[in-house]
A and B are shown apart, each in its own frame.
Chain A
Amino acid sequence: MANSPRILIAEGNTRERNEKLVSAGARTGSGCYQQAVKFLFPDARVDILAAADLDARMPDGKAIADYDGFIMGGSGLNLPGGEQDPHICQQVELAKTVFEAGVPFLGSCWGLQVAAAASGGRVAVNPRGRELGIARKISVTPEGRGCGLFDGKASVFDSPAIHFDEVTHLPAGGVALATNGHTSVQAASISFRSGTFWGVQYHPEFDLAHMADLIRGYHELLVSEGFFQDTPAALAHATQLDVLHQNPDRMDLAWLLGIDQDVLDPRIRYREIENWIRRQVIPAITLRA
């Protein structure tokens, strides 16, 4: 269909890391995003770019400008200290290319950090440590309330999250759109060169099953960081998340874990992704036509 959005999703993790995730039964980050986009817009045409791999090639020889939207999601890579890492540098360069091409740009977590770094902002290790599981009490700023990113979203909400670094300084052209007690920039827009970026520090594209997979995958690290007393506690929590994911009407579990419809209902959780497609991607298609 002529008007179905063509979206390129950058996979932020390297092939090696993804092979571990997938062999353990998890989806990749780009896979989660693809699922979200297809849930919202079944006609969307989605390509995946292995942006972290040094031999990455654009799908079918296409250019960035051939897409109506570009999404960069999460990654286990870290910008602070990674300034010389080619897996990182090429993603920052890619973000600059997207800004220059003026293709609508959406990011979560790593994607927000890369977009900020590419446009002159700064990223550092979050002094409050890792934010894991549910980012709680995210508050939309007045600027965020007036930005289409949060149309139909409550002014205070929770969303899945896992990150260690944060954006500390937005570039000129950057506007903070949401915040919480753990992370001052939970969402931002950035106007840079020809492009507009909307991004969030959390992961609207993740569901509880993916969070459970990540907790299982990183349980040793998470135990060492104090989220769990031991591995059985981590695995038990991952199981709870799986049970709640499969049975979202288990109000006892939802109540125990303090998880509500912000996270359990994909129509609410995906709202920022939907708004980006409706307000940035589809108008861009129309303009081009």
Chain B
Amino acid sequence: MAVRALGISKGWVVGTFTLVWLAIFAYGAWMLVRFTPRLWPDPGLGYQLPVPRGRLLARDGTPLALSPKPGARVYPLGALAGQLIGYTERFPKGYGRGLAGLEARYDAVLARGEDVRLTLDPKIQALAETALLKGVEAARARWGSLVVLSPEGEVLASANVPRLDPASRRGAPGKDPRLTNYAWRYLIEPGSTVKPLVAAWLLERGLVRPDEVLEVPYHVQVGDRWVRDWRWHPVERWTLADILAHSSNVGMALLSERVKKRELHAFLTRLGFDQRVHPLAERPLLPPLKRWGPVEKANATFGQGFALPPVQLAAAMNALVTGVYHAPKLVLGQKGRETRIFSEASVRWIRSTLTRHLSPRARVPGYALAGKTGTAQIPTRGGYDPERVVALFAGFIPADRPRATAVVVLYDPQVPLADRYGSKLAAPVFAELAKGLLSYWGLLPERVK
């Protein structure tokens, strides 16, 4: 035997063998404890890794919210579109699930690590917020919002002031005014901004002709109430364009006598004034038809007696671009409700009328813009506050082939009473936004073209 020939004793061989065997056994046992075998093949380590939350991207790919690692959340653009982006749970060691805004709306998708690409254009958003900040400061308003939509109903910008940086320290909901997404969640009466919509509808139905002249007094009795114009005037002979130009409540109330309340109510319903048009939006308040009398019908023609969030007003006004109503869309490629409301001829006539009679402070020299002012009193229990108002402006940039519809809302401005009008406070915000957008799009003034 080889072992005996080498002169090694059997004891050494058995001892060495036993030691080696024990060492290997110990190693194997340790491996078994450390890496417990699986019944099925190991799918790999990556499978077990927690996935970082998905990104919220702007239209051009700019990240609005992203997670460098699981449990982290960064908002690179700070307060830009803060309320719309929303926020997540916050723990000492990181961030959790979405609590508000898009973070909550798309929580399940983002939690899977998938990105959501929005229709927001960060540059338009910045222009809107810059213009709105200036407007809210000048008006000393409690809050302001500015919504910009594309003709297809895509939300290009949704600005609120006061702004919210989702990464900043938050107060309690209901107590911290920055937490409300006013553009989507706060109901306001739209006031005179709806007059062009009603006018287009009356034209469309042949209930009024553009050249028809009406006798419009300063006030008129409707049911048991008096409807008045915003300033005194003698009995005037006004066309529909004049009624819009002077923003005459009485003119609209007189025209309302030509329609049945059921028809007007149905028209407002088609514009989405009785339903939530987006999961993020608050449901508007439009009283049911059975609670409508002649007063409610007349009031509705000049934007009183119902309330809706600014984004929904913007979507309705947007129907004056092509005649088609598009429900607001926030995610790129998303489909929404589309309904033809007006003919192209009607909306063209309305826009050209609004261009001719554009509020002076909404004008941008060299460009044709269109829009309508609005000043709505704030409803209180059993009536309206005589002093507190919402200043509004809804317009199109540019007027002939609009690329954007914008709605400006300034809530409860604290300037002197004589200045609390949409024409004085909200129109300049629209002009400021228009200047920015025209620059961004590189559109030259008419005379230069």
Is B a genuine binding partner of A? Answer: no
**A residues with CB within 8 A of B:** none
